[in-house]
Structure 1
Amino acid sequence: MILDALFFLVQAGLNLFFWAVILAAVLSLLVGFGVLDTRNRLVWTLSDFFYRVTEPVLRPVRNRLPNLGGIDLSPLVVLLLIQAAMLLVAAIRGYMLRAGIYF
């Protein structure tokens, strides 16, 4: 029962962060292309929030990737890592169920 809650929380957290990275990347593109204006208080607040949430994870990935000019592939790499972590969590839960460690 407690392990179900733990696995649910880990998967929900990974899923929320997955969507936060997607929203941060889309918001960054829209601001970069001038579709959204950061002088608008709501746009600035959302942009700042998603930047603060995702940047601690994106920065180390961005530092390790080669410089491709104006192309930032770090959100794609982070999304792939999140998907791998979600698969790992599901596999661990499956192994624990099959081993009879928890029901």
Structure 2
Amino acid sequence: MAPLIEIFGIIFSAVIMLIIVQFIIGLLFAFNVVSPSNQFLMQVYNSINALLDPILRPIRRILPDTGAIDFSPLVLIIGLQILDTIIRSLA
């Protein structure tokens, strides 16, 4: 049972890291620190978006529209942390 819990913890951590990397790359593009024509970063950003979009889409449907600010990644991070805590406490 313990190895399974550790695997879930690793998966949750990886998803949280992907969310943070997506956020940082988005900020770099938004503030013109890096040009969106940078093919490498754009590929990384699109790949992360393709991985996270199926997870974030249902959260975006539930949350109210806040304009330019997307709170769904924050909700996902909090949800994953809560789920990780629950799984570890049950074991």
Which whole-Å deviations, capped at 9, do the CAs of 1:51-78 have from their partners, x for residues lacking one? Answer: 1111111111111111111111111111
Report the TM-score when normalising by structure 2.
Answer: 0.90
Report the TM-score when normalising by structure 1.
Answer: 0.80
TM-align CA RMSD: 1.2
Matched-pair identity in %: 24
State how far apart, in whole Å, the 1-side matches of 2:20 and 2:36 are. 19
Deviation at 1:32, TM superposition (A): 2.1
Unaligned runs of 5+ in 2: none
Instruction: Look up the SS of the partner of 2:19 in the other structure.
Output: helix
Match of residue 78, structure 1, among 76, 79, 82 = 76
Other-structure match for 1:67: 65
The one of the two structures with greater contact order (alpha-carbon pairs below 8 A, sep at least 6) is 2
State how far apart, in whole Å, the 2-side matches of 1:40 and 1:72 are. 24
Unaligned runs of 5+ in 1: 94-103
Instruction: Look up the SS of the partner of 1:66 in the other structure.
Output: coil
State how far apart, in whole Å, the 1-side matches of 2:68 and 2:47 are. 23
Deviation at 1:38, TM superposition (A): 2.5
Q: Contact conserved, 1:37 with 1:43, CA < 8 A, in 2?
A: no
**One-letter amino acid matched to 1:18:** I
Match of residue 4, structure 1, among 2, 7, 21 = 2
Q: Determine which structure has more spread, i.e. the larger CA radius of gyration.
A: 1
Other-structure match for 1:39: 37
